[in-house]
Amino acid sequence: MAMQTIRTTNGRGRIFGSILDTVGDTPVIRVNNLAPDGVEVFVKAEFFNPAASVKDRLALNIIEAAERSGALTPGQTVVEATSGNTGIGLAMVCAQKGYPLVVTMADSFSVERRRLMRMLGAKVVLTPRTQKGTGMYMKAVELAEKHGWFLARQFETPANADIHESTTAREIIGDFAGRRLDFVVTGYGTGGTVTGLSRVLRRERPETKIILTEPANAALVSSGVAQERGPDGGPAVSHPAFEPHPIQGWTPDFIPLVLQEALDHGGYDDLIPVPGPEGVAWAKKLAAREGILTGISGGATFAVAMRLAEKAAPGTAILAMLPDTGERYLSTPLFQDIPEDMDEEETALSMSTPGFRMS
C-alpha cells in the first residue's frame, strides 16, 4: 500500500493584533461526495469567521465606519436589532473595543444566540414574536432615541454592503482567479452580501450568474410588492408577503434598504425560493456526507446550488455561501430529531462488550 503523506502546518506567518484582525479570508471548500459527476460545487464557509458567521464582517465595518465618521464616540452604547448573528458579531467587536452593547431580538429566535451574546457581554432585550422583525427593529430605534445610543442600522447602513464589496467579493475573485465560476448562490438577511458581491462580480466576472434565494413561504422579493419605508429608509410596516419561516437569519418581515440596491440595479440574475424543510435536509446532508456543519440558512443556499448542479452542463462551477455554523441551531428544527440518548443501534454496540455499559 502506498504511503500516505502526513498533513503538516507551518502557521500563518504572523501574529494577530486582536480577534478583529481574523475577520474575513474565509475558505472556499470543494464539495466531493454530494456534487453530481462532472459538476464542481463549492461552498464559502463563513463560519470560519471568529464569531462563526458572515455577519462578523458587517459588524466590524459598522463600528469602524462609525468611529471614522465620529458617529460613535468612546464609551458610547451601541444598540441593534438582530436575529442573532449580527448581534453576536457586534458583541465580539464591542467587547474588544470597549463599547457597551444592547441587542433587541424577537423571542422566536434560538436561545443559544441570546446566550452567546450575553456571554460576550451584551444585554439582550427580547420583543414579542407576534411583532416580528419590525417589532425588534422599532424597539432598537426607541432605545437609541431615548438614551442617546448609537444605532447600528445594519439594514440601512452603507457600511454593510461596502465590506462585502471590499472583502467577500475580493476573496471570491482571488480564489477563482483563472478558474471557471458560473454561479454564485446566496440568500439575504440584510442583503449586504448579494449587494456587495454584485458590485464586483458584475464588473470583473460578468459571466458569473448571481442567484438570489429566499424562503418559499416568505417570498418578499418574489411577490413584487414594494416595501413601505420610513424617512430613514427603514421599514414603515411589515411586508404583506411575510410569514414566519424556519430559516433564521434570512428574510425579516421587510425588504431591507441595503438589499434594495441589488433589486433596483440588476444585482442578481435569478430568484429561486426554497422551502425551509429543504434547507434543513441539505444542511444535514452536508454534515453527514461532507463533514461541513452549517445552519439552516446554509442548507437552504446549498439546496438551491444543488438544484442548479443537477441540471448543469458538465464543467459547470457553482459556489454557495454558507452564512454560519450549525451549532447556532441546537434548539431549532435542524436538531429536533437528533437524539440526546443512545438509539437502538448505539445501545446494541454498547451491549456487544461486557464492560462500561449504561444502566
User: Residues with catalytic annotation?
Assistant: 55, 297
Other C-beta atoms lying within 10 Å of the C-beta of residue 149: 20
- Amino acid identity of residue 321, one-letter, is M
CA angle 105, 161, 70 (to 5 degrees): 80
DSSP letter string over 183-242?
A: EEEE--SSSHHHHHHHHHHHHH-TTSEEEE--BGGG-HHHHTPPPPB-TTSSBSS--TT-
For residue 248, the surrounding DSSP H or E stretch is none
C-alpha cell at 344: 437502538
CA 134 – CA 140 distance, rounded (Å)? 10
Q: Position 292: which residue type?
A: I
Residue type, 19: I
Count CB-CB contacts under 10 A for residue 107.
Answer: 14
Rounded Cα distance between 65 and 154, Å, is 12
**H or E segment at 171?**
helix 169-175
Yes or no: say if 81 and 139 are a contact pair by the CB < 8 Å rule: yes
Inter-residue contact 133 to 248 (CB < 8 Å) = no
**What is the distance of C-alpha 214 from the center of its chain?**
13
Question: CA–CA separation, 332 vs 338, rounded Å?
Answer: 11
Buried-state track 158-196, b at ≥16 Cβ within 10 A, e below 16: bbbbbbbbebbbbbbbebbeeeebbbbbbbbbbbbbbbb
Closest CA to 125 of 112, 114, 141, 110: 114
